[in-house]
């Protein structure tokens, strides 16, 4: 799991470079190492949530209060946001930036995640969520690019993180 720690460090640096102060997270297998990286880091406040759609509301509210945020969830959780993303973020043009672990794609070692991999991108497309896929460490800079896009166009945007980033 050292690879997971290694990959979260540059991702966290991209978020800091973008001015993100609030991390809204739902703990899961691949995000657990993130907490080790941000523990004691005064640049961020971490708000753990129990339901992903709550995170959309928190990030939208943070934007209204002038605070830059990122929602960090897995794609199964993104699928639970099918109502709140269009009715809150899109309708009111509130940028919500998401880092989404893209489970169930070729290269993911958990076969039971396949349905998520098959439906995440089509669901994002149908909802009008702009997205980029990051599947190698040299693409980590796309995190800040996607964040800037979200802010500039005031819309929900996701950086899909391929599971191979977290594998040893």
Q: For 31-66, how does the pLDDT look when each residue is reduced to its tens digit (9 = 90+)?
A: 888 988 998 899 999 999 999 999 999 999 999 999
pTM metric for this prediction:
0.94
Name the CATH code of domain 2-40+53-101+116-134+142-159 (choices 3.40.50.620, 3.30.420.310, 2.40.50.320, 3.40.50.970). 3.40.50.970
pLDDT at 1: 45
Identify the segments of the chain with pLDDT beneath 50.
Answer: 1
- Check residue 6 and give its pLDDT: 84
Alpha carbons 162 and 135: distance in angstroms, whole number: 5
| Burial 108-140, CB ≥16 within 10 A → b, else e | beeeebeebbebbbebbeebebebeebeeeebb
- Distances from the Cα of 166 to the Cα of 13, 36, 62, 74, 151, angstroms: 17, 14, 29, 13, 27
pLDDT confidence of residue 152: 98
Question: DSSP alpha helices (H): ranges in 18-163?
Answer: 32-38, 52-64, 75-78, 84, 114-127, 142-153
Binning the chain into helix, strand and coil, the percentages to the nearest 5 are 50, 15, 30
- pLDDT for the residue 167: 80
Cα separation, 18 vs 69, in Å, equals 10
Which pLDDT does position 117 carry in this prediction?
92
């Amino acid at each position: 799991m050292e690879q997971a720690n290694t990959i979260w460090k540059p991702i966290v640096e991209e978020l800091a470079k973008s001015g993100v102060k609030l991390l809204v997270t739902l703990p899961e297998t691949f995000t657990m190492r993130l907490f080790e990286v941000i523990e004691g880091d005064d640049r961020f406040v971490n708000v753990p949530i129990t339901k992903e759609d709550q995170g959309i509301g928190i990030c939208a509210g943070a934007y209204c209060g002038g605070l830059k945020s990122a929602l960090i969830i897995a794609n199964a959780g993104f699928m639970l946001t099918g109502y709140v993303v269009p009715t809150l973020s899109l309708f009111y043009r509130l940028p919500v930036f998401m880092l989404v672990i893209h489970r169930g794609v070729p290269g993911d070692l958990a076969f039971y995640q396949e349905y998520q991999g098959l439906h995440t991108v089509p669901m994002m497309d149908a909802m009008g969520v702009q997205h980029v896929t990051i599947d190698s460490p040299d693409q980590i800079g796309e995190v800040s690019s996607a964040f800037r896009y979200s802010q500039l166009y005031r819309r929900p945007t996701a950086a899909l993180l391929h599971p191979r980033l977290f594998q040893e």
